[in-house]
Amino acid sequence: QSALTQPPSASGSPGQSVTISCTGTSSDVGGSDYVSWYQQHPGKAPKLIIFEVSKRPSGVPDRFSGSKSGNTASLTVSGLQTEDEADYYCSSYGGSNNFVFGTGTKVTVL
């Protein structure tokens, strides 16, 4: 199974929005309701911010939203804040009890 494809970087000014894509195949992203997103600050463990494509865990701001179209999932961060500067990873169930992660995107707040 190959890693899901994400852009290496994305950026925006405070208050703006940024959208990160996560492209897979019909065997993973396109065929699964179990796409999740993780935020990782430097030196820290990943933190779940979106699960089942578009659901937010308790405590995650509604500035974070997820969606999916075909084989591509997307994470949008609206109203960017300085603390949103981090690496973001998508993940998908890939069938046969396997999981695959994305290549990761570094978000910079300008």
Partner 1 sequence: QLQLQESGPGLVKPSETLSLTCTVSGGSISSSSYYWGWIRQPPGKGLEWITNIYYSGSIYYNPSLKSRVTIFADTSKNQLSLKLSSVTAADTAVYYCARLRRGITIFGLQPGGCFDPWGQGTLVTVSS
Among 1, 25, 54, 67, binds partner 1 (CB under 8 A): 1
The reply to whether 5 sits near partner 1 by the rule CB under 8 A is: no
* Residue 88 interacting with partner 1 (CB under 8 A): no
With CB under 8 A as the contact rule, the residue among 7, 19, 47, 85 that binds partner 1 is 47
User: Closest Cα partner for 38 from 75, 71, 69?
Assistant: 75
| Amino acid type, 100 | V
Binding to partner 1 by CB under 8 A, coded x per residue (else -) over 52-81, reads: x----x------------------------
**Starting at the edge strand that comes first in sequence, how are the strands of the sheet with 64-69 ordered?**
18-23, 72-77, 64-69
